[in-house]
Amino acid sequence: MKNIQEGRKAYIYVAHYYDPRIKIWIGADAIVEKYSGVSLYNYCLNMPTRMIDPDGKDWFENETTGAIYYNNNLGKKDIGKGALAGEGWKHLGDNKMFSNGQSYSQRCDVSLVLQDGGSVSFDASSKTYNMELNLNGDKGEKFMNRQGYEKLPTQYDEYSLTKKDKYQMGPNRFIEITTGNAIKINEKYGYFKKGSVGISKNMNSISGSFNPLLGTERGDRNVVDYYSNGWIKGFDILFNLTLGMTGSHNYVSRTIHESWSEYPGNNPLINKFRKEK
């Protein structure tokens, strides 16, 4: 521990700040949203004599490969070093994220690590475990599926060649039909609770050529935010119902590629995003 302000007796325990004068932890826990039933200012579920939280953050995911890495001695500050060197690594959650709201102890993680072939050792002097788990590709995805998570795209590029036609069906009543083809290439992924709903946001667009018979070319880069809230799911259903009721119909045929390496084409418009990747 060390002083966080000169002249003030407050200490930092890597991820938690403690003021011994008033005997409380200062500032909300970094992942408080995952534990709604616990105080914002708790430390180790208010059981510091039984549990430790070295830095509060030690599960990692690779957003390009889907790999999962766990080390109870590493935190966010270690991304880019050792096993976390290379492209795509980001923080996934703290060492309590798979406790499902139950009281956490290091033995919870020991069981997970051993089950999937990780390494575990016990330090008798500190009475703590040292654990490491490295799951690449499909193994990482299967592990997360067992924990109730699914791998979903968080960034993708899309090329489309579409045409919109409007038809009058009666007085003041029209229907709009969109036809054409689209190519979607997923670039980045993340793990989210099963059943989460994604909402896309456009980050960049490139206009292509126009053909009066085939329609307009367009390239888009999008990011996706995921929500598990019930009202978000309801909004998504209502939005799609509204499109049908207002006469908007989409018949665009989409081809999805899981990564750039699986994309066999050489479309010059979408390749502009590939060069920016």
Half-sphere exposure of 230 (CA within 13 A, CB side): 0
Residue 76: CB partners within 8 Å, gap ≥ 6? 55, 57, 91
In total, the chain counts a number of residues equal to: 277
pLDDT at 6 over 70: no
Q: What's the pLDDT tens digit per position in 193-225?
A: 998 988 899 999 999 988 888 899 999 999 999
Strand arrangement of the beta sheet that strand 24-26 belongs to: 3-5, 8-13, 16-19, 24-26
Q: Which two tokens stand for residue 270?
A: 């979408």
> Per mean pLDDT, which of 14-28, 118-132, 209-223 is the most reliable?
209-223
- Residue 64 pLDDT: 92
Question: pLDDT tens, 73-86?
Answer: 888 889 999 999 99
Going across the sheet that includes 173-193, the strands are 197-211, 215-227, 149-170, 173-193, 248-257
Q: How confident is the model at residue 183 (pLDDT cuts 50, 70, 90)?
A: very high
DSSP letter assigned to residue 118: -
Is the distance from CB of 128 to CB of 121 less than 8 angstroms? no
